[in-house]
Amino acid sequence: MIQLLLFACAPKATWQVQPAARVDVPLASVAVVNEDRACADVSDALIDALQARPGVRVEPTGATRLVVTDCSELVKTTVEVDLDSAMGGVTSRGQGQSIEKRRVIVDGSAELSVEVHHGAAAPSLLTGNAHRVLTTPWSDSGASMPARATAVPRQLDRDLAMDIADQVSPLSETLRRRLYRDPEPGTARALHNAAVEAERAGELAEALELAQEAWAADPSPRSAAYLEDLQQHAEQIGYALRAD
């Protein structure tokens, strides 16, 4: 318990990372064009998502055009029945008075394709994906479909819109790394601290090397988790790190 409390009070390094956009186009004037009537809802959601991004202005005559060319959605609804209650077991209503219980599982997935046009350059193609699973609580068989279960398609539209918006105008993210207080030089903890400082400075190759050395010196789950997180960030091509 004491060790857990000490770890909880350990110093931390915090800074922001700015992911690079998948496309390099001006965003001061952006138009969202829908080429498929079936994609009207997700196109509207994309407009809302982009308007909320700093520095992005959405207008019908925008110089940069995001053309929604294709969208697909599959929502599968499964109704599960509690057979034990349906067979006449003892229930809150008394002996032999069964209450059939049901719950609904909604599994939805969706995809979206968007062409990014600007000037005479060849358009870039972006694809978005979304997946939602919702399981309602058990209820009497006579109960109506919960409103939140029928909202899955709208949630998928918003998720797709956020996916595309993140690719066009990604928001900055905050990284938080734990540090060890006054580690002995040359130890795994000292190597870990050095790796975090290198990561914060944007020296990802050096940070990876130090983190690997730290894990080799102390192959604990904590050092392995940090190494995995660092590798994931390094693999995201175009990540630009900036210290606060």
CATH code of the domain in which 133 resides: 3.30.160.150
* Same domain assignment for residues 164 and 211: no
Asked if 36 and 6 touch (Cβ cutoff 8 Å), the reply is: no
The partner residues of 178 in beta bridges, in order of sequence, read 12
Q: How many CB atoms lie within 10 A of CB 213?
A: 16
* Same domain assignment for residues 65 and 164: yes
pTM for this one?
0.75
Final residue of a domain: which of 168, 183, 207? 168
Assigned domain for 16 exists? yes
User: One digit per residue, pLDDT tens: the chain, 244 residues?
Assistant: 444 444 445 699 999 888 889 999 999 999 999 998 899 999 999 999 999 999 999 999 999 999 999 999 999 999 999 876 555 544 444 555 567 888 999 999 999 999 999 999 999 999 999 999 999 888 886 667 777 778 999 999 999 999 999 999 999 888 899 999 999 999 999 999 999 999 999 899 999 999 999 999 999 999 999 999 998 878 764 555 544 4
Tokens of 97: 């008075």
Please, how many CA atoms are within 13 Å of residue 233, restricted to the half-sphere of its CB? 25
Its domain, for residue 54, covers 30-168
Q: Which of 52, 72, 50 is nearest to 129 (CA)?
A: 72
State residue 244's pLDDT score.
43
Question: For the chain, how big is the Rg over CA atoms in Å?
Answer: 25
Q: CA distances (Å), 152 to each of 109, 131, 187, 218, in order?
A: 9, 10, 50, 45
Tally of domains in the chain: 2
State residue 183's pLDDT score.
95
* Same domain assignment for residues 158 and 178: no
State residue 233's pLDDT score.
79
Residue 178, class by beta-carbon neighbours within 10 Å (0-12 exposed, 13-18 middle, 19+ buried)?
A: middle
Q: What is the pLDDT of residues 207-238, one digit of tens each?
A: 999 999 999 999 999 999 999 999 887 876 45
Cα–Cα distance, 225 to 229 (Å, whole number): 6
* Same domain assignment for residues 220 and 136: no
* Same domain assignment for residues 74 and 133: yes
What CATH number did the domain enclosing 233 receive? 1.25.40
State residue 142's pLDDT score.
66
